[in-house]
Amino acid sequence: MKKILSILILLFLTNCSTHSVKLGKKCTKLASDKTYEKSFIWIVNNETLNDFENKINKENCIENGEKL
């Protein structure tokens, strides 16, 4: 229970700084070696927020063969 609470507090504190927390399954595009990254929690710099949405999104998960 303490670990879950600590993670939640960390997420809220991170959201108050120069970074944003993006929740939900998102993936990168498939690389040339057939690998990609996926996660349910992404911590993104606010300065690169628009670029993040273009590169890492739910549509990439579908293209990579993931189920949403």
The DSSP annotation for 42-56 comes to EEEEGGGHHHHHHHS
Cβ atoms of residues 56 and 23 within 8 Å:
no
Q: Which residues contact residue 5 at a Cβ distance below 8 angstroms, ignoring those fewer than 6 apart?
A: none
At 51, the pLDDT band (50, 70, 90 cuts) reads very high
Give the model confidence (pLDDT) of 17-39 as tens digits: 777 888 899 999 999 999 999 99
pLDDT exceeds 80 at position 43 = yes
